[in-house]
Structure 1
Amino acid sequence: MTPTRSLLAGALSLAALPALAHTGHNDTFNLLSGMAHPVGGLDHLLAMVAVGLWAAAHQGKVRLAAPATFVLAMLGGCLLGAAGINLPAVEPGIALSVLVLGLMVAAGSRVPASIGLPLIAAFALVHGHAHGAEAPAGSLAGYMAGFVLATAALHAGGLVAGHTLLARASLWVRATGAAIAASGAWLLASSL
């Protein structure tokens, strides 16, 4: 199988997976459930990796600023959700984040930090809100620590993968971004 067909097959197989991150049926909220949450749904997984991939296309401080911005804004959103402060259209916002972050990856360094970082922060806020709205108040600290660790690991994975792919062929990073964006469009259409 050619590399292009392999990438397409992988993207299509990801698109077939359900977004399971927000089932609302988990009654255990601790460090481990927090760590599992970002990798339990396609929407979170793709958004976290996309942030790392986008950061890899930039030089200097942006490489760390993008993941740090996401984590900090996500924590803020978590606290809002846990406090019962509602944000409008959280689930469509999460799906939109996958679409837009995928497009940002596809565009690479052509999306400047002055545009990318505020978008990352806004999307992280809705991702964090979804985390916080699901957690009972008494279990929030361990749960938050868990999803922060998992999120940082996914960002790091995207950053390493992006750096590795960019060193070989930036086309692979752009193609991955396009596949993420296509998944985001599918998630957005199914969330409306």
Structure 2
Amino acid sequence: MRPPCLQRSLTAAAALAAAALVSRAHAGHGDIAGLGDGILHVTSGNVFMLGAVAVGIWAMAFPWKRAWILSVVFVAAMAAGAWAGLGRPREEGVEIVVVASLVVMGALIMRANAFSLPGAVAICLVFGALHGYAHGTEAGQSGAFGAHVGGLTIATAALAIAGMALGLMLRLSSRYGLRIAGALVALAGLWFAAGLAR
């Protein structure tokens, strides 16, 4: 018989895995713009969705009063990266790095407090910028790109907050909760990488 706390952790972690598996594979949308398109661009891409959620989960491995910093940095860097990628050609290397970031993020969640807060902030800054750059290169040229970035920001922030809520539940329910979630994130990243390799 599993302890109730461990069972809750496994249930939450399974929900995380299911969310990753049922979300649609991300694809370029061509010339897109507008608030709604920005939101859809994030929520229709399993790599981007899981990346934002993973950041929120990792944030909850840090002291409560500072947990929000990682999510804010990731979202802000994503928005800046999107602007940097606007009008630039899509590069397969960027997509590979973004997928690889999931594997790294999963490992970081498993290690929990292996990094100091400044180190974690630096990692979220880099990963957020990479995710945003990928968004920007897929958006194409449009005069409404500002609204599109607004949609990207809203969706990414909402997913990061959801990740924080899940991370909090996992942290409170079991000492193994975050590790289980981290393992699932890393495995999902490897699964997505295998899809790119085919």
**TM-score above 0.5, yes or no:** yes
d(CA) in 1 for partners of 2:172, 2:156 = 24
d(CA) in 2 for partners of 1:32, 1:103 = 33
Q: What corresponds to 1:184 in structure 2?
A: 189
Query: Which residue identity is paired with 2:180?
Result: A
Residue 105 (structure 1) shift: 1.3
Residue 82 (structure 1) shift: 0.4
For the 8 Å contact 1:90–1:130, the answer to whether it is kept is yes
1:25 equivalent to 2:29? Answer yes
Q: What corresponds to 1:74 in structure 2?
A: 78
1:95 equivalent to 2:113? Answer no
Structure 2: gaps spanning 5 or more residues: none
Structure 1: gaps spanning 5 or more residues: none
Cα distance 1:162–1:185, how it changes in 2: closer, same or farther (>3 A)?
Answer: same
Cα distance 1:88–1:123, how it changes in 2: closer, same or farther (>3 A)?
Answer: farther
Query: Which residue identity is paired with 2:196?
Result: S
2:174 to 156, 169, 176: 169
d(CA) in 1 for partners of 2:69, 2:13 = 30
Query: Which residue identity is paired with 1:177?
Result: G
Q: RMSD in angstroms over aligned alpha carbons?
A: 2.5
1:134 equivalent to 2:131? Answer no
Residue 191 (structure 1) shift: 2.5
1:146 to 135, 147, 151: 151
1:34 equivalent to 2:41? Answer no
Count of aligned pairs between the two proteins: 190
Cα distance 1:13–1:153, how it changes in 2: closer, same or farther (>3 A)?
Answer: closer
Q: Structure 1, residues 59-116: CA drift from partner, whole Å, max 9, x if none?
A: 1554122011111211221111104277772101110111111111111122222322
Query: Which residue identity is paired with 1:115?
Result: G
1:52 to 52, 56, 63: 56
Q: Secondary structure at the match of 1:109?
A: coil
Query: Which residue identity is paired with 2:98?
Result: I
Residue 57 (structure 1) shift: 1.0
1:125 equivalent to 2:145? Answer no
Residue 14 (structure 1) shift: 5.1
Q: Structure 1, residues 20-69: CA drift from partner, whole Å, max 9, x if none?
A: 33x22355421111112222121111110111111111015541220111
Query: Which residue identity is paired with 1:80?
Result: A
For the 8 Å contact 1:38–1:151, the answer to whether it is kept is yes
State the TM-score, normalizing by the size of structure 1.
0.85
For the 8 Å contact 1:79–1:132, the answer to whether it is kept is yes
d(CA) in 2 for partners of 1:49, 1:95 = 14
Q: Secondary structure at the match of 2:29?
A: coil
Q: Secondary structure at the match of 1:132?
A: helix
For the 8 Å contact 1:104–1:116, the answer to whether it is kept is no
